[in-house]
């Protein structure tokens, strides 16, 4: 998230009236409250996502990836709630009191920076894996339950690799951020802060510059490029399949419904990919500019930091809305589990519907 290269908050010596900094200062006064609302909503809805997607009748390779993406999203938002309460709600955003910037709270901030960078990286690379896997699956000629079980095993291995490598590859980033302290003359109390990285200056350490650029390229730019490539391929494949489906006038009703479900799933995944691109690509570009253009970090990146954090949190929280809007099966399973509204309909379908239609109704929407 945006705070992964946060500098210490220090009192302003001069009043900067730039529009960007004024907007950033204004938003920081409400950021704590808006982010807490989004985090609570996102934590609750991602728990719902996990419970629905982990059902036995929903267990498909795509849904397993979406489930573990929901886990990483929850891990991203959970520690952000106490952070927002302490640094934005209980204490003013620009306040530099010893109570706000105590040793334990600054160490928690350092933990948050590193932990959120890891969990957010996991979500990004799981989204990349989702786009690659969906593209390969749509173009695969191997079908049937054996192939499906093989794909499920492959997905589990991919998820494990993404979780482990995301933590391992960020070890240099963990070592970059350090804490410092200073005495407040007026109160004679000690405050703590995250050390200034001094980006894009003569004082920038080579290891710091290398770590920041590596983070931006490996964990932001490259995943976005891959999502654009495979997302574009998915879009082309979706259009070609739609044309072929319209030409096959003799296709059976069951196969038509199956292809329609696959198309809806692909469209939903494309929306998920686009949201990640809107969130991550601008941030990756801004991090590179912060590391290479003098003054850019202070005048552009810092004022936008809270806004970028909020956009990233919204991206973590919005998947439930997408699933309910774009997936009939997810919506029906959600109401069945939490409102018990479909139990009577299932009994009715079992009695009155032909067997072939009944099987089609309860086939997985997210995969086939």
Question: What pLDDT does 8 receive?
Answer: 41
Spatial separation of the C-alpha atoms in residues 73 and 81, rounded to whole Å: 13
Question: What pLDDT does 247 receive?
Answer: 57
How many C-beta atoms surround the C-beta of residue 250 within 10 A? 5
Angle in degrees, CA 321, 326, 329, rounded to 5: 100
Residue 105 lies in a domain: yes
**Torsions phi, psi of 362, nearest 5?**
-110, 25
Q: Specify whether the CB–CB gap between 362 and 252 falls below 8 A.
A: no
Spatial separation of the C-alpha atoms in residues 73 and 39, rounded to whole Å: 10
Q: Specify whether the CB–CB gap between 335 and 28 falls below 8 A.
A: no
Residue 13 lies in a domain: yes
**For 96-100, 102-106, 211-215, 246-250, which range has the lowest pLDDT when averaged over its residues?**
246-250
CATH number at residue 285: 1.20.1070.10
Q: Specify whether the CB–CB gap between 219 and 146 falls below 8 A.
A: no
Could you report the per-residue pLDDT of 137-158, keeping only the tens digit for each? 777 777 778 888 888 999 999 9
Question: What pLDDT does 140 receive?
Answer: 74
Residue 157 lies in a domain: yes
Question: What pLDDT does 262 receive?
Answer: 64
Residue 368 lies in a domain: no
Q: What is the pTM of this model?
A: 0.82
Residue 366 lies in a domain: no
Question: What pLDDT does 279 receive?
Answer: 92
Q: What is the number of residues in the chain?
A: 368
Q: Residue 180: enclosing H or E segment and its boundaries?
A: strand 179-184
Question: What pLDDT does 82 receive?
Answer: 97
Provide the domain limits for residue 65. Answer: 2-361
Could you report the per-residue pLDDT of 258-304, keeping only the tens digit for each? 555 667 777 888 888 999 999 999 999 999 999 999 989 989 999 99
- Domain count within the chain: 1
Residue 234 lies in a domain: yes
Residue 251 lies in a domain: yes
Question: What pLDDT does 246 receive?
Answer: 54
Distance of CA 174 to the CA centre of its chain: 20
Residue 348 class from Cβ within 10 Å (0-12 exposed, 13-18 middle, 19+ buried)? exposed
**For 28-42, 138-152, 244-258, 334-348, which range has the lowest pLDDT when averaged over its residues?**
244-258
Question: What pLDDT does 90 receive?
Answer: 95
Model confidence at 4: pLDDT above 50: no
Q: Answer with the residue of higher pLDDT: 13 or 199.
A: 199
Arithmetic mean of pLDDT over the chain: 82
Residue 367 lies in a domain: no
How far CA 29 is from CA of 73, 92, 112, in Å, comes to: 25, 7, 20
Of 197, 174, 171, 206, the C-alpha closest to 290 is 197
């Amino acid at each position: 998230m945006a705070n992964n290269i946060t500098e210490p908050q220090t009192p302003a010596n001069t009043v900067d009236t730039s529009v960007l900094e004024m907007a950033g200062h204004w938003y920081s006064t409400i950021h704590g409250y808006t982010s807490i609302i989004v985090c609570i909503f996102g934590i609750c809805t991602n728990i719902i996502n996990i419970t629905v997607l982990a059902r036995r009748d929903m267990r498909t390779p795509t849904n397993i990836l979406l489930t573990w993406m929901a886990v990483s999203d929850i891990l991203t938002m959970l520690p952000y709630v106490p952070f927002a309460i302490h640094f934005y709600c209980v204490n003013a955003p620009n306040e530099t009191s010893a109570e706000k910037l105590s040793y334990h709270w600054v160490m928690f901030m350092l933990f948050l920076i590193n932990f959120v960078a890891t969990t957010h990286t996991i979500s990004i690379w799981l989204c990349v894996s989702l786009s690659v896997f969906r593209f390969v699956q749509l173009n695969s000629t191997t079908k049937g339950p054996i192939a499906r079980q093989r794909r499920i095993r492959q997905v589990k291995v991919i998820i494990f690799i993404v979780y482990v490598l995301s933590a391992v590859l960020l070890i240099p980033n963990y070592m970059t951020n350090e804490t410092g302290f200073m005495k407040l003359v007026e109160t004679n109390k000690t405050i703590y802060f995250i050390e200034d990285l001094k980006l894009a200056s003569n004082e920038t350490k080579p290891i710091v510059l290398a770590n920041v650029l590596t983070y931006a390229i490996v964990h932001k730019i490259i995943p976005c490029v891959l999502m654009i490539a495979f997302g574009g391929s998915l879009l082309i494949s979706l259009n070609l399949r739609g044309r072929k489906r319209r030409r096959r006038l003799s296709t059976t009703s069951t196969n038509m419904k199956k292809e329609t479900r696959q198309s809806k799933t692909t469209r939903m995944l494309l929306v998920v990919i686009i949201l990640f691109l809107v969130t991550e690509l601008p941030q990756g570009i801004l991090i590179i500019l912060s590391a290479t253009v003098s003054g850019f970090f202070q005048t552009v990146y810092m004022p936008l930091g809270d806004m970028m954090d909020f956009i990233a949190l919204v991206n973590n929280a919005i998947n439930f809305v997408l699933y309910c809007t774009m997936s009939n099966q997810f919506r029906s399973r959600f109401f069945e589990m939490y409102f018990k509204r479909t139990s009577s309909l299932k009994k009715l379908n079992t009695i009155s519907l032909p067997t072939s239609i009944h099987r089609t109704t309860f086939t997985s929407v997210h995969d086939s």
